[in-house]
Amino acid sequence: MNEVPTYFRYWGKAEKDGSRYHLLPYHCLDVAAVGHLLLEPTKPLCQRLSIQLQTSPEWLQQWATYILALHDIGKFATAFQGLVPSLSSSLVTSNPSMPYTTRHDTLGYALLSDLWVDSVGFGLNVGNADLQKLFRNIRPWIEIVTGHHGEPPTTMPIHRQNFFTLFDEVAATHYAKTNVGLFLENFDCSLFVEKALKNRLKFSSWSIAGMVVLADWLGSGRNPESFLQDEVSLNSYWEE
């Protein structure tokens, strides 16, 4: 019998009275699905942005879908989970010694920044590339996608152990790696090796940030009656 992944022990959306919740991986995929549709390669938005970035529309859609699936990775923090305690015994236990004093966008940015090298790019096929150099070129994308309603995260270093347990970090890493397999199969990472794409992104960053905001708003609009608390594979949830 396969063990249930620990990333299913976190809620992403919840009703204020604690009666229902939507598991965090599913909320993240809801938002990624909206972004996937907004950046459909035949649509003018995707074509315009891909011309500005000098990528193919398909490449842009694939990469944007993946990073959108990470947009709320900061919610894996026990500090955030404690905002609605006692939702279910199957979720992580709240910890009063970990108050939610830093927003989840900043927590997500810090977590991705700190774990990227240790997790070998979360399983992204980067060949012999220098992971630290590669992340410097990817970092602006992470800032865009983890921002909250268009406001970038705080990028100053934080002591993440004040917000995340080791259990949280393992769950978040497993989730990120699972999404690499789901969205980035046969993905070309070579565009990130040099900083040319990073420089071109400066001219498109506000448009992409706006797309992220729209995807988050629409993806968060799920009716509470359709919240999913049962564990199904991420691949099955994405397809169905």
pLDDT digits (tens, 9 = 90+) for 58-95: 999 999 999 999 999 999 999 999 999 888 999 999 99
Q: Please state, in angstroms and as integers, the Cα–Cα distance from residue 57 to each residue in 47, 65, 161, 163, 215, following that order.
A: 6, 12, 39, 37, 18
Instruction: pLDDT tens for the chain, 240 residues: list them.
Output: 468 899 999 999 998 777 899 999 999 999 999 999 999 999 999 999 999 999 999 999 999 999 999 999 999 999 999 999 888 999 999 999 999 999 999 999 999 988 888 888 888 888 888 888 888 999 999 999 998 876 788 888 889 999 999 999 999 999 999 999 999 988 988 899 889 999 999 999 999 999 999 999 999 988 888 999 999 999 999 998
DSSP 112: H
Q: Shortest CA distance to 47 belongs to which of 230, 174, 137, 38?
A: 38
Token pair, residue 144, equals: 């865009």
β-bridge partners, 148: 151
